[in-house]
Amino acid sequence: MQGETAAAAPIFVFGLACSAVLLSAGFAVGTWLARRDRRAPQFEARQAIEFLRGLMQWTNGVAGEVAEYREVVEDVAKRIDPAGKGAVGEPDRADGAGPLLESVALANRRLKTRLDDAEAALRKQSAEMATMISAASTDSLTGLANRRVFEQELRRRFAEWRRHGMPFSVLMVDVDFFKKVNDSLGHLAGDSVLKEVASTLRATMRETDLVARFGGEEFAVILAASGAADASQAAERARVGIARTPCDYDGGSVPVTVSCGVAQATTDDTPERLIERADKALYAAKHAGRNAAFWHDGRQCRPLSRRESIAASGSPARIPPDTLGDGFAAIAEAVRRRLDEVTSGQDSEWPA
């Protein structure tokens, strides 16, 4: 009986290992499927199904090997103990124990080989699953969370706010004159600008904030535990930080500015309405001349601060060309600076 117990021990240990692995894999798959947006592309569902099929095939293969191993061990145990009461039977010949032990050793080797193969297959499938999860949640260009993740987190934040009263705000960020960058320098330059903006947004936001690419040249940030004051500061940090970080491309420097819109969640909001209010603030910043940040207070849009010019921010002093010509853009910029000076109480001569 001691021989049977010793031979059966690997089955028990192996069974526990298989159970733990399958439970972990099943939990990962279940969690991912539960968090998937129901509007997700169908190809992701097919990928998940293929992963589960592979996991099932792996399970069936290992189960077959374990069953075969068990049969070998049981056969050896019966030949050693025919009565099953601890009595040792007489082998057919003097060296009869040798073939029995060799059968167990062979079964052990086969099971170990199968286990090694199964482990390699599981590692491969786990890596594929990790890639699927990453692709389903990450923007491939910037490495930020994608819009689906942003919308999921926004719904979660709303639910948390309604339960516990934890305030939060949404920041929308749009790259100024992005189409001109693509048209004049090419789409690779535009990609570099988006990557630079994404990097600066990550650097200027807190770890608890979710930074996502919303679409095109627009980004969105969920500002956790942030009311009006904190959200306004975050918007200004992002705007000034981006203006001070020109994008290096093809041996040159591309000045970049953004317009920002901020809104705090209120009792009248839904996720859609909150984004709509932040968007209105963003467009107010655009209409105010860009490189600006506005706040939507629930009724109207208000500027967060006097807009910092590109030159003052440390970036190259270059005014993006306007659709009506560089001359008109220069005059408009001069008028804007003069209005800023008058409203802030500063005195200066009118630019020539």
How would you write 179-247 as a 3-class SS string? HHHHHHHCHHHHHHHHHHHHHHHHHHCCCCCEEEEEECCEEEEEEECCCHHHHHHHHHHHHHHHHCCCE
* Rounded Cα gap, residues 81 and 3, in angstroms: 10
217 is catalytic: yes
C-alpha to C-alpha distance for 323 and 87, rounded to whole angstroms: 100
Catalytic residue among 65, 151, 196, 217: 217
Rounded Cα distance between 205 and 222, Å, is 10
Which residues lie below 8 Å from residue 58, measured CB to CB, with a gap of 6+? 118, 121, 122, 125
The first and second tokens of residue 37, run together, are: 């947006």
3-state helix, strand, coil in the chain (%, to 5): 60, 10, 30
Cα 293 from Cα 173, distance rounded (Å): 9
Q: Is 145 helix (H, G, I), strand (E, B) or coil?
A: strand
Please give the distance of CA 240 from its chain centroid, rounded to a whole number.
Answer: 25
C-alpha dist (Å) from residue 221 to 216, 246, 302: 15, 21, 19
**Enzyme catalytic residues:** 217
